[in-house]
Chains A and B, each alone.
Chain A
């Protein structure tokens, strides 16, 4: 029962919403925390004990750190115990997945990083520990964000619970996000995955330049729309319960520089790594060499978010090169360039980065890159790729279109000029998109 199922949308969600609204405010978090555990149990019952054990251990570590505020050594021991446990969980699960010995338990990355961040913050005194286990469980395991984030901080969530916004306008915003996310997931992400699969099934010897390009583009969109779809749904679901979760993607393909791309792509993960690694290591304040090393480590960790693979590390290193080039050489030129040119530059750099991320090995990436430029005698196109393109052209066009902010700009423009019409249109479009999404789920 994933977020993109009919069972979730028409049975689980309304049931939880009704329980939530029927409860007095002080029990509402308990309803959501119970629902989160129930959701996890339904989807991943085998991994529920692991999640509970991990979160409870971090909770106890926080409690111990607060209790022994004076005893420096005791605090340090439990703190490092928790960090090692969390790192071990992350690396272990990723390694097992990489070795085909198991699948990554649902939400492990999200709840572990959320919880680890909280432990670090409590240790540093940046976050208070209020001892509320229900709130802590909800903060770490809210079902909406288990799939792809966003990663939140405890104080952010606490603020949301204290000023719970159950107004109509907030709910409407939530519905738009939820429906938008669902549509991205079931129409664009699934469509891109279908194209990716069709291209991957092209027999050896029948690859073309166009097929390699299409593989990279479809893999990029498959990843992007899966992540944005889940994140948008998570934000929508949070809004149903009066919470506001931070944005995780902000039109990254419209970035004007590669550095800007990281400010728009997987924002909360970038924020997490920046906060706990880059800044911890001194950021860019210790000279050129430490800055290069810090940037390298940070981007490599961002790559590892997608898997414990050499290609993911290379993805990070690739970006380090461009980030440093921009920082030390290119930025003055990029700032003078017309916006369209620097966007094209960033888009091309990002697109090539996905040829690294998509490859199962560096050798595969090498063959993608050579194929993209027609090296190795690949023909430009053939019947097979023409058929895949002609069968999926609309999905590809929609993927490009919705990667831009054009719909948002159009909506804002109508809202500014004709607010009443914009409201009606917004409702009608939302209903239509929801209907179409449900149709694609059947």
Chain B
């Protein structure tokens, strides 16, 4: 019996760890469900073990620290910078990109509404100082330039790359999320507003309000490396001319906010939803501006931080993320009733996603019949 003691103790020690993970872990242990494939169930059990094992967090951190000691600076396509996480968007899906470019060309060529195209560079193209020197990166600058060259004479292109890159040391992107901060949004706005023939409002015209000092975005949630300071969410409010806004979400259930920044959402879900109430796919921003100038924005979430600044120039801006719409719904969008059409995608979406290809279903044939009012800055 004495002989067996060491083996029994080893088994108890190992088993205790397993039992701890099974019984004391958060969220409970996965229950065997007859609808599960056995392999799926085992994968669930393994995930639960990894999550609930004693000192799981510390062990996970240890593995990351050891890998970093070994030279690694990228985990799951996220570069670890100096207190910032930078998403590596990787190489483009060549076929999808070609289809997206072709759809964009066709749309720009056939559109009878003045059309503007903007490709927003992602964090890894701008924050290159935070990325290991030899890391192979997709050349977004070159891609944007090439795409814009193909659009010459068909649409007005908005190149924000130089403006963003010239301020690469500033907090233009969130540390823990892929999107632009309010400052990044303002930088894009400075270029975009000029191209849209608006007079750029100086930064002093906006009151800055900090609504969250403890924001951890989606990149942080999927990052193995967690030693990153939280982000601060700032809101820029245009202070002049008693401007009022009404933000309407035109989904299955229509609802409105009487502000660009519904702060009550800070308590409910993702803190970034404070920006216009989040991307629900179809948002209309109406202001008390009398100029009747209107803008239709077709794009992805990356443009949202820019819209509050543009809102200072338009009586109505409608943002549509066609990813969330069917072909029929896209065809019903009345582009002709807007004075200008802006198509804006992040380079990441444009080189990987099929959504930009759907712009070919847009009907931008009908010119607006009523007289357009001049756009006032």
Contacts and interface: CB of A to CB of B under 8 A. Distances in A.
Contacts, number: 117
A395 B91 contact: no
Interface residues of B, number: 39
A386 B62 CA distance: 25
B219 to A, nearest CB: 19
Nearest to A393: B71
A394 interface: yes
A387 B134 contact: yes
Q: What is the predominant secondary structure among interface residues of chain B facing chain A?
A: helix
Contact of B132 (A171, A175, A390): A390
A441 B46 CA distance: 10
Nearest to A187: B66
Contact of A10 (B21, B69, B71): B21
Interface stretch (A337-345, A415-423, A431-439): A431-439
Interface string A203-232: 100000000000000000000000000000
A392 interface: yes
B225 to A, nearest CB: 14
A331 B160 CA distance: 70
A21 interface: yes
A435 B15 contact: no
A27 to B, nearest CB: 14
A274 interface: no
Nearest to B58: A439
Interface stretch (A11-19, A106-114, A370-378, A404-412): A11-19
B73 interface: yes
B63 interface: yes
A373 B154 CA distance: 51
Nearest to A165: B3
B167 to A, nearest CB: 26
Counting contact residues on chain A (CB < 8 A from B), the size range is 35 or more
Contacts of A171: 6-7, 10
A18 B134 contact: no
Nearest to A392: B71
Interface stretch (A1-9, A347-355, A356-364): A1-9
B70 interface: yes
B211 interface: no
B49 interface: yes
A442 B38 CA distance: 21
Contacts of B50: 6, 441-442
A87 interface: no
A10 B70 contact: no
A171 B3 CA distance: 10
A352 B73 CA distance: 31
- Of A1, A9, A13, A14, most B-chain CB atoms within 10 Å: A14
Contact of A442 (B12, B45, B53, B74): B53
B72 interface: yes
A168 interface: yes
A45 B15 contact: no
Contacts of A439: 59-60, 62-63, 66
A166 B4 contact: yes
Contacts of B4: 21, 166
B42 A394 contact: no
Contacts of A172: 6
A392 B62 CA distance: 17
B333 interface: no
A440 interface: yes
Nearest to B224: A442
B220 to A, nearest CB: 18
Interface string A379-407: 00001101100111111000000000000
Interface string B233-247: 000000000000000
A175 B49 CA distance: 22
A133 interface: no
B135 interface: yes
A167 interface: yes
Contact of B45 (A7, A17, A21, A175): A7
Nearest to B5: A168
A13 B14 contact: yes
Contacts of A42: 38, 42
29 contacts: A1-B46, A6-B46, A7-B46, A9-B14, A10-B15, A10-B53, A11-B45, A11-B49, A13-B14, A14-B10, A14-B15, A14-B18, A17-B7, A17-B11, A18-B8, A21-B4, A42-B38, A45-B38, A166-B3, A171-B7, A172-B6, A383-B134, A384-B134, A384-B136, A390-B71, A394-B69, A436-B66, A439-B66, A442-B60
Interface of B: 3-4, 6-8, 10-15, 17-18, 21-22, 38, 42, 45-46, 49-50, 53, 56, 59-60, 62-63, 66, 69-74, 91, 132, 134-136
Given A17-B11, A390-B71, A439-B62, 11 more contacts: A1-B42, A5-B46, A7-B42, A10-B53, A11-B49, A14-B14, A166-B4, A240-B10, A384-B134, A442-B50, A442-B63
Q: List 7 A-B pairs, minimum CB-CB distance, nearest first.
A: A394-B70, A14-B15, A10-B18, A17-B11, A387-B134, A439-B63, A439-B59
